[in-house]
Amino acid sequence: MEFCPTCGMLLQIEPPNNGRSMRFYCPTCPYVCPISGKIVKKERLVKREMEPIFSGDKAMEFAPKTQATCPRCHHGEAYFRQMQIRSADEPMTTFYTCCNNKCKHDWRED
């Protein structure tokens, strides 16, 4: 991708026409740049560090805890996470997992 040095717009490619060679042109200003040879640009991509994903059996053990009563065993503490599963104008959904090792019941609160 090439950008116009005058206005910063993305340059368009104009195919060869009536003996004129291929060239870049700006759609908003009169800037024109002839293409004389092959254009090659290499750029190294930098890997970003990924955030941990909640998946697997022990994923919720790394989630924060809160005071919530399990509907199955009535334990008073649960792991939780929040996700946007509906449209953006709806509130987030909270998912809970009971901290009681014997129960591990999952439920959600809309």
Residues annotated within a binding site for Zn(2+):
4, 7, 26, 29, 70, 73, 98, 103
Q: Provide the annotated binding site.
A: 4, 7, 26, 29, 70, 73, 98, 103
Bridge partner residues of 65 (DSSP): 79
